[in-house]
Structure 1
Amino acid sequence: MSHKRTPRRKAAMAVGGAAALGAAAFLLPHANASQDAGDGGRAPGADGTARTLRATDAPDLDARLRRLLGDTFAGSYYDSGRQQLVVNVVGDDNVIVQAKKAGAVVRRVANSAAELRAATRTLKAEAAIPGTSWAVDPRTDKILVTADSTVTGAQWDRLRSAVRGLGPGMATLKKSAGTFKTFASGGDAIFSRVQGGSVRCSLGFNVTAADGSPAFLTAGHCGVAAEKWSDTETGEPTATVDRATFPGEGDFSLVTYDDPGTRAPSEVDTGDGRTVPISRAAEATVGQAVFRMGSTTGLHDGRVTGLDATVNFQSETDPGGVDTVTGLIQTDVCAEPGDSGGPLFTQDGGALGLTSGGSGDCTGGGETFFQPVTTALRATGATLGGGAGGASGGTDDQAGAGDESGAGAGSGDEAGSGAGGDPVGEGGDSSAPSDASRSGAADDGSSALTGTR
């Protein structure tokens, strides 16, 4: 990052790293159906016919159902196979009729949203163990609790006891073969020199700060690790952290460009001269097809598997401590060190999240967590878009990543949390690692749209 930035350099800095993406119509073919189909889908009728809709329209219906159903709303997810929103309800037949008339597929479930939220608070109080995470799974109407490979012995016993203490039918516990970690090393997008070495992360989205200054969003643990950033490993720093949140209620940083004349476009630079314009900030929906850009591994795709997730990272500053982060998006998209801060987005230009951390890699797969962009924008007062050619900075008027969420796979079936899940108290193998992770080779950027999970 230099003060005299050529248009080519500015575009490259707009987002860290790239694999070719091009126009949205040329995104991964298998993703097009769930993203684009449903245009002109059936409107809900008096008989309660469920409507077909785009994944990008699902959050709007979800938000209306939350308002309509109130305390009887118990979560929802997008069924990409049928292109419909499935909503969970607790209540009488009248409530179900209302939800059906709104256009959703309705399921009557046992656990209310309030009960599930109370259970997550119990987990926070009793099981905030490094290497664990949890999120509500609307596909099973349970909390999916995950422990990475470091959770063994007494810690595993403590976690298992806490989950069992929630009562039958409330939670599922599974093992992850990897290790939960923040992805703050490796990569080649943005650099900072620190005592004892350097830090490398990925830039997420260009924004305009509340005072009108050009800025960008990246991961909070990157902003905590270093104050000054450059787009070359040996270059002079030209961006400074204004605010960083990590750990706690999020993982995001607002970093302002030192040159107030910087005009960085609101787009994802995907290499080979191709970009995806970012037009708005949007909320994620469980089951939604998404794309993740990172400076280490390039373009990868997958699905949202949970919202409002809590992750307990092993503290990097306190050997015996834990860095707990709440309010994250959970996905099955792979990521690796150096991808931290990179953008999670939809093929039609919706900004969803910033890469936080997770387990696994882009060879064996794993779980990856993202900071919701909408939360970062509200907290910092920034608006999406960063100068000439930038987006308007609007935010979809959709439900937040708040109360109801889930960790279900995005396929059209009604399956639960995948292989390796251990319904507590039902005799599963508690020590066996999960094989539910997706695998895929890292994208080498050689083809137009061949992001892999």
Structure 2
Amino acid sequence: MTHPRPARPRVLTLAVAALTACAVVGGVGPAPASAEARSGMEQALARSEGTTVAQARQQIATENALSAKAARLDASLADSEHAGSWIAGDELVVAVTTDEAAAEVRAAGARPETVRRSQADLDAVQARLDRLARTGGAGGVLSWGADPRSNAVTVEVAAGADDAATEAFVAEAEELGAEVVRSGAEIRPLASVLGGQEYVIDNAYVCSTGFGARDSAGRPVVVTAGHCTEGASRFTFRGTTLGTHRSTRFPGDDWGTIAAASTHTLVAAVDTYDGSSVRVAGSTAAAVGANLCKSGRTTDWTCGRVTGLNRTVNYGGGDIVSGLTEHTACVEQGDSGGANVSGTQAQGVSSGGALYSSGGSLVCGEKVGQRNAAYFQPLNEVLQREGLRLLTS
């Protein structure tokens, strides 16, 4: 999975020149100035949503509160009693299967919606499809996972894919009651090329930094994508050593950790590519429908919304990754490992995206009039399984 390192486009060189601190952040950027940090996030969301900055500020506050409520309800309701939740305007909607669960949701200030399939039912379908993909292949199937809004597992298939493995997977999915949709995109991990802010792997290919953390001994660690660190030994940032390989989980999951060198200071902030940054205050997971912005060395700072949780993605060649979150921010090759945030809450590191051919390049959907679809590895799972503590400010 190595890729030749290309020349840096001039437009992104300007963003590098604007940096003033030699620090590794989610992206890489200056330490946060609190008012500027909030303003940068709000302005980016306002541009993405076509609203005013004041409206974006209120939207971020509302969605952060609703996402926290979703996390609490998800923890208190059994998988047989609910089937996920999503943000609709200024309210949280929770799919429930029992009257008791509906009462608990109302008491928490959310709106229940009664559905036929529970989370346990949807998880069982996804698990069947995951096993099929890992044993018999998934052909041209791009991704699959539960959608709380449709109360079904949705399966996305590349347009024109009609090989035996694809047909077998689709037949099994339809037998299990999944919804199958066709797409003109191809989904790829995003470890390769097209420059801006970056770190370099083995002097051969490039990715983006994610979040700073500390291990149980207090040592600094950079969290990034696993397909970036897989088989790698040397990581450099702006010409100096970023750190050494610590761990890799890919495929199956998609995270990697780098033991950071003492020459760099890890900052609890995410670069917004306008000379400012957004501080990282925690890692409360965003609900479906919440705002989401990502920082990466190819497409800089882009925003969208969370559209799905626990998605399984087929990157081809037997590389199948489960447990990813889907969103609609523009992500392209080289953004891998970059930071995804909702408000000031860290969400995860970029894993892959649906890319479309255009002029000999692969670009995100919005550049060719299509809907963006990108995926990140949720950060909380990484922190828990690696025994790390997120750096916050």
TM-score, length of structure 1 as denominator length:
0.71
1:354 aligns with 2:352: no
1:190 counterpart residue number: 199
Alpha-carbon distance, 1:282 to partner = 2.1
1:10 aligns with 2:18: no
1:181 aligns with 2:193: no
Number of residue pairs the alignment of both structures matches: 346
- In structure 2, how many angstroms separate the alpha carbons of the residues matched to 1:351 and 1:95? 29
Q: Residue 158 of structure 1 is aligned with which of 156, 168, 188?
A: 168
1:61 aligns with 2:69: yes
Q: Percent identity, aligned pairs only?
A: 29
Q: Structure 1 counterpart of 2:58, which letter? A: D
Alpha-carbon distance, 1:314 to partner = 1.0
2:209 counterpart residue number: 203
- Structure 1 stretches lacking a partner, 5+ long: 1-6, 40-53, 316-321, 386-390, 393-453
Q: Structure 2 counterpart of 1:152, which letter? A: D
Contact 1:199-1:226 within 8 A present in 2 as well: no
Alpha-carbon distance, 1:68 to partner = 4.4
2:254 counterpart residue number: 251
The equivalences for 1:284-323 within 5 A come to 284-315=286-317, 322-323=318-319
1:129 counterpart residue number: 138
- In structure 1, how many angstroms separate the alpha carbons of the residues matched to 2:376 and 2:94? 24
Q: Which has the higher strand share?
A: 2
Alpha-carbon distance, 1:272 to partner = 4.1
1:334 aligns with 2:330: yes
Instruction: Indicate how the Cα distance of structure 1 residues 154 and 337 shifts in structure 2: closer, same or farther if over 3 A, else same.
Output: same
What whole-Å deviation, never above 9, does each CA across 1:347-393 have from its counterpart, x for those lacking one? Answer: 3x1110100012123313431110011111112112122xxxxx25x
2:103 counterpart residue number: 97
Alpha-carbon distance, 1:225 to partner = 4.3
Q: Residue 58 of structure 2 is aligned with which of 15, 24, 36?
A: 36
The equivalences for 1:361-372 within 5 A come to 361-362=363-364, 363-364=367-368, 365-372=371-378
What whole-Å deviation, never above 9, does each CA across 1:105-156 have from its counterpart, x for those lacking one? Answer: 1111111111111111111223441543111111110111112357333233
Q: Structure 2 counterpart of 1:56, which letter? A: N
Alpha-carbon distance, 1:276 to partner = 1.1
- In structure 1, how many angstroms separate the alpha carbons of the residues matched to 2:56 and 2:97? 28
- In structure 1, how many angstroms separate the alpha carbons of the residues matched to 2:354 and 2:124? 26
Range 223-232 or range 213-222, more displaced? 223-232
The equivalences for 1:106-121 within 5 A come to 106-121=112-127
1:78 aligns with 2:87: yes
- In structure 2, how many angstroms separate the alpha carbons of the residues matched to 1:329 and 1:34? 22
Contact 1:180-1:313 within 8 A present in 2 as well: yes
Q: Structure 1 counterpart of 2:201, which letter? A: S
Contact 2:93-2:112 within 8 A present in 1 as well: yes
Alpha-carbon distance, 1:38 to partner = 9.1
The equivalences for 1:400-411 within 5 A come to none
Contact 1:35-1:289 within 8 A present in 2 as well: no
What whole-Å deviation, never above 9, does each CA across 1:166-210 have from its counterpart, x for those lacking one? Answer: 0xxx3211122111110001134110236xxx1100001122233
Instruction: Indicate how the Cα distance of structure 1 residues 299 and 67 shifts in structure 2: closer, same or farther if over 3 A, else same.
Output: closer
- In structure 1, how many angstroms separate the alpha carbons of the residues matched to 2:273 and 2:304? 20
Contact 1:286-1:306 within 8 A present in 2 as well: yes
Q: Structure 2 counterpart of 1:88, which letter? A: A
Q: Secondary structure at the match of 1:27?
A: helix
- In structure 2, how many angstroms separate the alpha carbons of the residues matched to 1:238 and 1:107? 48
Alpha-carbon distance, 1:64 to partner = 3.3
Contact 1:23-1:275 within 8 A present in 2 as well: yes
- In structure 2, how many angstroms separate the alpha carbons of the residues matched to 1:10 and 1:226? 23
Instruction: Indicate how the Cα distance of structure 1 residues 165 and 256 shifts in structure 2: closer, same or farther if over 3 A, else same.
Output: same
User: Over aligned residues, Cα RMSD in angstroms?
Assistant: 2.5
1:148 aligns with 2:166: no
Q: Which has the higher helix share?
A: 2
Q: Residue 271 of structure 1 is aligned with which of 270, 273, 280?
A: 273
- In structure 2, how many angstroms separate the alpha carbons of the residues matched to 1:354 and 1:100? 33
Instruction: Indicate how the Cα distance of structure 1 residues 304 and 25 shifts in structure 2: closer, same or farther if over 3 A, else same.
Output: closer
- Structure 2 stretches lacking a partner, 5+ long: 1-18, 31-35, 356-362
- In structure 1, how many angstroms separate the alpha carbons of the residues matched to 2:322 and 2:60? 33
1:405 counterpart residue number: none
Instruction: Indicate how the Cα distance of structure 1 residues 129 and 175 shifts in structure 2: closer, same or farther if over 3 A, else same.
Output: same
Q: Structure 2 counterpart of 1:118, which letter? A: A
2:358 counterpart residue number: none
Q: Secondary structure at the match of 1:8?
A: coil
- In structure 2, how many angstroms separate the alpha carbons of the residues matched to 1:69 and 1:246? 31
Contact 1:18-1:293 within 8 A present in 2 as well: no
